[in-house]
A and B are shown apart, each in its own frame.
Chain A
Amino acid sequence: MSGPTLLLAETGPRGLQAASLETIGVARALAGEGPVVAVIFAGPSDTATAALAAAGADKVLCLRHPFLEEGRGAACAFVVAEIARELGVELLLVGGTPFGREVAGALATAWDALAATQVTEVRRTANGYSLKRPVFGGRASESLELAGPRVVLALRPNSFGGAPPTPRACAIEEHPVPTIPPALLPGTRVRVRPAESSAGPDLGTAPIVVAGGRGFKSPENFHLLEELAASLGAAAGASRAVTDAGWRPGSYQVGQTGRSVSPQLYIAVGISGAIQHLVGMMSSRVIVAINSDPNAPIFRVADYGIVGDLFAILPPLTKAIRTARGLPT
């Protein structure tokens, strides 16, 4: 392999995205002894850059440009493609966020690369890369071989466990921003309203998600869900019935028309399990369902179930979790 393995890191309101850290581990595993270079649209002294440098990259390239920091997929892809050509890169990894998906698509054209998203397994072969990804909302999976001089992969969040890579000596460099063609910088991001989400981690990439459904009966009862989420350090989500009714903001919605999540642990509370919801969470690693109806479809996809009244189960569950984790109860 000629050039380094390149990855594009992403920053969010909470600093470096968890999806980007996972990407470093995969890049490290695929690169073997070869170098791993990370690109970030942030300054060399930003906390996200430091987190990236500490996570196992050999080099971090910092680029600053307001349009890149706005997450414009086309402009970001153009810049990354320029760097990839300059370094002779063959494999480029991005996290499985909406931004990562946009950049991967744009790179397929801008870098003339083979591309795949939602990758859950990947290994190097004689010809290129062999990978696996869920299709049909997790009802099946497909395996692909991408054999080409340039490959870009967007990884599905929380799919690659294992120990984090050992930190190594990492050079942090500022990299000049290539001149971006004006055609790639049209339009205006008028404003951003911060998501009205729970205080926990981002729903799309959190390793643990707890979600509530119509079983909560009214918006006033959702503090029980938020408390359970806090005890686990989890993101809180909801079914479509709940967000449609306005009990929780739309940013909570898990399902086909909301966020698609694949955490290590998904706890569905008071959610019956309509297909609309299942396709957004079915590829979670371990699923727990708590529901008063033993015939609810959610029990068919769950690994563990508690049939019971959520109002009776949740308070002692939150307490037991806090005790087990040594948190004040």
Chain B
Amino acid sequence: MRIVVFVKPVPEAETRLRPSADGARLDTDGVKWVLSGYDESAIEQALLLKEANAGSEVRAVTYGPSPRSEEVLRACLALGCTSAGWVEAPADLPPDVRLKVRALRQAAVRWPADLYLLGQQSLDTESGLLPLALAMALGVPGANGALDLAFDAARNELSFERSSEAGVEEWRLPSPSVIGLKQAKNDPRSAKLQNILKSRKMPIDRIPAVELPAAPEVTGNANRFRFELPPPRTGARLIEYAAPDEAAEKLVRVLREEAKVFP
């Protein structure tokens, strides 16, 4: 089974977020770039499928700038991916999912697979648009929010569950498909030290930006013009009370008269 996992470098969770000098974007100075939790789950899922299907290959692919792209790809190799591909991108891509689709479609042509796997959304911009946008562009089935994938080689089918407004749905999709993963069966594994060392010497296949097709088909302009932090939460106003009845009545009163959210 050939699996391609598309990953995106995101600032590590502990990053102190602050706007850039022009106020338009995240200040990335000194940010450490890592795989997001959803991407870690996608890698874990790909490795589980590889272990369950002898002779499988898992290629991690990212579309991003240097050096963060190589860093997360090395992390994927250290976790057990068999190869890595990097599609070069400028550091500040306009917020238009079609630009990503164009680049990743190029990667999918270069590295055909039985399964194109992604995290259900990135941890920074959290748009969740890419899985279906990419599936439509590749002309293959797509689904987002999948839990715990299995592959039936004899039927060439992927099966998974996902939650929707209707309940828990069970799906079977023919391969190849594009799937956005919510969670694998296991928590993501960590890399062993010897594999981290080995990953430093492994090759990363590169698609330079100039090899991407020009973008005449993308109409319209998307522009990110502000990045801001919410006003700091000052902490809860604690309700003072002598007896539970008093606490209950005071809370009802503030919700109704002050917060105005009482139904």
Contacts and interface: CB of A to CB of B under 8 A. Distances in A.
Interface of A: 10, 12-13, 17, 71, 73-74, 77, 97-99, 101-106, 108-110, 112-118, 127-128, 134-151, 183, 186-195, 202, 204, 207-208, 232-233, 250-251, 256-257, 264-265, 275, 285-289, 294, 299-308, 312-313, 315-317, 319-321, 324-325
B170 A13 contact: no
A286 B251 CA distance: 12
Nearest to B183: A257
11 contacts: A73-B144, A109-B134, A115-B97, A135-B227, A192-B167, A192-B169, A287-B236, A306-B247, A307-B238, A316-B248, A320-B249
A305 B235 CA distance: 9
Contacts of A114: 96, 220-222
Contacts of B162: 98
A99 B165 contact: yes
Contacts of A73: 132, 142-144
Contact of A192 (B144, B157, B166): B166
A193 B170 CA distance: 8
Nearest to A130: B225
Contacts of A195: 163, 166-168
B223 A136 contact: no
Interface in B199-232: 217-230
A138 B170 contact: no
Contacts of A301: 233
Given A105-B133, A118-B127, 10 more contacts: A98-B162, A101-B144, A106-B132, A137-B123, A142-B95, A142-B227, A143-B226, A190-B171, A308-B241, A320-B249
Top 4 closest A-B pairs, CB basis?
A148-B220, A305-B236, A105-B132, A143-B226
A194 B167 contact: yes
A102 B144 contact: yes
A101 B130 CA distance: 10
Majority-rule SS of B interface residues: mixed
A286 B261 contact: yes
B21 interface: no
A112 B219 contact: yes
Chain B interface bracket (under 10, 10 to 19, 20 to 34, 35 or more) = 35 or more
Contacts of A320: 245, 248-249, 251-252
A187 B141 contact: yes
A141 B134 CA distance: 25
A175 B129 CA distance: 27
B259 A286 contact: yes
Contacts of A10: 165
A76 to B, nearest CB: 10
Interface string B241-260: 10011011101101110010
B219 to A, nearest CB: 6
Q: Which of A110, A207, A306 has the most chain B CB atoms inside 10 A of its CB? A: A306
A104 B129 contact: yes
B174 A192 contact: no
